[in-house]
């Protein structure tokens, strides 16, 4: 009697290590060094990186379809407006100018 076996998967060492580290991360038992190794594997291996990106997009799509949870409500936090790089640099230069130049020009010399 022949038993049906699961077909063999060909995996590289990085792929195998990735699956082991993901299991530990999801279980909450991964150490900091293992998380660093996981990050390095994802950044180094293009096929794994693509898989992680696709999984995260899929996860976001499922969250969007389900709608916001009641527990995820944000309390009335002020929204920080983004400013352009040029305006940001201009504001820094204005602060530097005000700090260094105004005390000299505004002071009275006797």
Question: Domain tally for the chain?
Answer: 1
Does residue 41 lie in a domain region?
yes
Asked whether the beta carbons of 49 and 42 are under 8 A apart, the reply is yes
What distance in Å separates the CA atoms of residue 79 and residue 87, rounded to the nearest whole number? 18
- As a whole number, the mean pLDDT across the chain is 77
What distance in Å separates the CA atoms of residue 85 and residue 83, rounded to the nearest whole number? 7
Does residue 7 lie in a domain region?
no
Q: Check pLDDT > 70 for residue 109.
A: no
The residue among 34, 36, 11, 37 whose CA lies nearest residue 24 is 34
Asked whether the beta carbons of 21 and 32 are under 8 A apart, the reply is no
Determine the distance from the C-alpha atom of residue 39 to the mean position of all C-alpha atoms in its chain, rounded to a whole number: 11
Does residue 26 lie in a domain region?
yes
Q: How confident is the model at residue 86 (pLDDT cuts 50, 70, 90)?
A: confident
The pTM assigned to this predicted structure is 0.48
Q: Which domain holds residue 45?
A: 12-67
Does residue 27 lie in a domain region?
yes
């Amino acid at each position: 009697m022949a038993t049906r076996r699961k077909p063999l998967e060909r995996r590289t060492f990085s792929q195998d290590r990735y699956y082991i580290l993901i299991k530990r991360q999801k279980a909450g038992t991964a150490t900091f060094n293992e998380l660093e190794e996981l990050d390095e594997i994802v950044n180094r291996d293009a096929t794994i990186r693509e898989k992680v990106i696709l999984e995260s997009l899929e996860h976001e799509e499922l969250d969007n379809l389900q709608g916001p949870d009641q527990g995820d409500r944000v309390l009335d936090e002020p929204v920080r407006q983004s400013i352009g790089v040029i305006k940001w640099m201009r504001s820094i230069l204005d602060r530097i100018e005000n700090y260094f130049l105004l005390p000299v020009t505004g002071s009275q010399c006797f």
